[in-house]
Chains A and B, each alone.
Chain A
Amino acid sequence: MEDAAIIALYWSRDENAITETDRKYGPYCRAIAQNILSVREDAEECVNDSYHHAWNAMPPQRPDRLPPFLGRIVRNQSISRWRRERAQKRYAGLESLLSGLDECLPDPQDVERTVEGRELTRRVEAWLEGLSRDDRAVFLRRYWYGQEVQALAKAWGVSPNQMTKRLQRLRVSLKRNLEQEGMIV
């Protein structure tokens, strides 16, 4: 079924919307949830929660592209779940992702002004656009889709050590970019 037709089902409050979403994008959503949470049962629950969130979001929203829209919901549901259970350190995938993002954070003394989250997103987008398409894909597959370093290494035909170093270079690059932009949120 075309995405527009699935979105139309949501807008007409037809519960087949969720069935069709799962049929077409279930594997996509589960892959992201599984990558981020690393616990199969919780990832499954997270995807179900995400479908309900999508049900509540459409209407009023009418996304242009359904996969990123759903993926964002899964990411948000995943980090909400992590926040609730962070004490248990239950979700190795997200712990690893966040640990990597720690290295991208500018030092507070190196920044001069405060920006809101949306501006931070725009800065990240601008930084991503300055990368090669290949580097951009590596970064987003790791930090948006949550793919493991080992899987990325295999896909790119390099050793895990080489992929680790490539990601490290990208993190340092983002950190420097954010520092030089003088931004803090």
Chain B
Amino acid sequence: MMTRETLYDAITEVRDELIIEAMETKPAKSRVRWLRFGSIAAAFAVVAGLGAGVVSGKIPWLRIGGNEAGGGADGSMVFDSYAGPVFPLTTVEGGDGLTAERTVTYDFQGWMAGDPDRPYYGLPVTDSYTLTNPTGEDKTVTLLYPFAGTLFDLRHRPTLTADGAELQTTLLTGQYSQLATGRPGGLPSLNSPDSWEEYRALLSGGRYQAGALEEWPDLSHIPVTVYEITNPWAEPGVGNKGDGSYNPTLHAEMELDYGKTTVLSYGFNSGKYDRDSGRMRQGFDAPQPPKEGASIDPGFYEKERAQPHFLIVIGEPLDSFRLVGVSTGGPESTDYLEWGVDIGADLRQYETDLDSALRAAAGQMRRGADGDAESTEDGPDFELYFGMLEDCLLDTGILLDDPEERYDFTSLEDLYPEVIQRVFYLEAEVTIPAGGSVTVEARMMKEASYNHACHSKHDKDIYGYDLVTKLGTNLDIAAQTAKAVNTDGVEIVRQNFGFDWENGVDTVALDPEQEHYYLEVRRAGA
């Protein structure tokens, strides 16, 4: 009888070429293009007045989740995965009249102990500020505490306190689609930041931070037609590919003018796009009921059937649309199955607006195809997720009138707003009394920058923790200090802090004019 161990052994023996190819294959990551909008209002003007082209200039690319490079030219390591620096506190109003002193503490207690609740080699970091108001009047300021991360690891977000009491905070993030505003000479070539210099580029000029304080784009002005396909099915035994495998597939066949119509999809995994003939096909596997007594999760088939599939049509209506079943998954397949006998589904066509249509799809994306909520309790609220999804969508340029300027994009699942490394902000209000001070602390579990296992042993075991002193802050931070505690068993590999904890130097003064500090450590004896 086949067991999981015999299957493990069989996989062990697959031939060399496949094993080598697997490691040489570069992941096909989604790419999202920067959009050269003057503003989101301008974007709507473009949409509302199809034909009023406003786009020109070169279009750099944004690579999601990039991790090929990191660090900088100042002696720090170039990490495969760069976690971003610890940023300084800033304010919405400008912090005029306030003075600040900053102490950043790295606590190595329990570091590398394998605590599953920590992010990757996470280190407790406390970023503490003494804010002083020398004036004769109380000052209420809106604080913004920036931190690097992705949407799906927000459970490690910092907490903010004022004189020991936790502050109520609002989570914000900047809008990539607005970054083109007013940049002479074209857009910055920003990838998902892989180094502290790329974070510097992201935050320079303040536009990204300003976007965090603005409303997300409103797409409810844009009419769309939705084709919603539900309850797909295929009879057992249909869709035999001839080699013993089965893949009955539902295809939406459309005719359209690619220059005037954009089709967004959710829940489709194959497609054929023929611009010359104006035809498009998009398909997905039709679920077949499991055989009697099969060990497959009996709920899997029902979950597959319950998963809705959307085609969202923007611009001119389709010239034609029909839903068909084919016996194999190939986009060229014309081996049609008998509709309603071999294969079928329910189809609903309706008119709505882009905001509503995206919300329906986004709700499914959050829940996932298997019906499980994705980090419901720890995850971000839906509006944040949805705003970031819209932001990513605008970056693709799909709403531009010039087809040449649009990214060739159809699948909403390719947007992945949750994995874009970006800067988030915690917003909180605090009052500093006249002539008094308040201590504001940000406590976080800071993820390490690290290298993948394929690196040499020496580099593989090194973990990096960066800090920036003035990037993005409008506070006058008169003095900055860094501390390291519980450092037994931790060895410094490279740094520019000036720590020498073997000789008792575990507190150092930082130069506020030095923008970037790095600390690279490993387990002693590693």
What is A's interface to B at a CB cutoff of 8 Å? 26-28, 30-31, 34-35, 64-65, 67-69, 71-72, 75-76, 79, 83, 97-99, 101-110, 117-118, 120-121, 124-125, 128-130, 133-134, 136-137, 139-141, 143-145, 151, 153-162, 165, 168, 172, 175-185
Contact = CB atoms under 8 A, between A and B. Distances in A.
B369 interface: yes
Given A159-B152, A159-B374, A165-B369, A71 B27 contact: no
B19 A144 contact: yes
Given A27-B454, A145-B23, A107 B294 contact: yes
Given A68-B16, A117-B9, A165 B453 contact: no
Contact of A140 (B8, B19, B81, B418): B19
Interface of B: 1-16, 18-23, 25, 27-30, 63-67, 81, 152, 244-246, 291, 293-296, 300, 368-370, 372, 374-375, 413, 416, 418-419, 452-457, 460
B419 A158 contact: yes
B267 to A, nearest CB: 12
Contacts, number: 180
Contact of A35 (B6, B453, B456): B453
B20 A31 contact: no
B4 A27 contact: no
B13 A72 contact: yes
A56 to B, nearest CB: 18
Contact of B4 (A102, A159, A162): A102
Contacts of B67: 154-155
A124 B11 contact: yes
Nearest to A143: B11
A159 B416 CA distance: 7
A112 to B, nearest CB: 12
B12 A185 contact: no
The residue in B11, B21, B245 that gathers the most chain A C-beta atoms within 10 A of its C-beta is B11
The 8 closest A-B pairs by CB, nearest first: A157-B65, A31-B453, A140-B22, A137-B25, A157-B29, A180-B244, A120-B10, A101-B4
Contacts of B291: 107, 110, 179
Contact of B2 (A139, A154, A158, A185): A185
Nearest to A110: B291
A105 B295 contact: yes
A65 B416 CA distance: 37
20 contacts: A27-B453, A27-B455, A31-B454, A76-B12, A98-B5, A104-B7, A105-B295, A107-B291, A107-B294, A117-B10, A120-B2, A130-B245, A157-B29, A157-B63, A158-B65, A159-B418, A159-B419, A160-B152, A161-B375, A185-B6
Contacts of A68: 16, 19-20
Contacts of A35: 453
B30 A157 contact: yes
A6 B506 CA distance: 47
B407 to A, nearest CB: 16
Contacts of A27: 453-457, 460
B244 A118 contact: no
A140 B10 contact: no
Most buried by A among B7, B21, B293, B296: B7
B23 A141 contact: yes
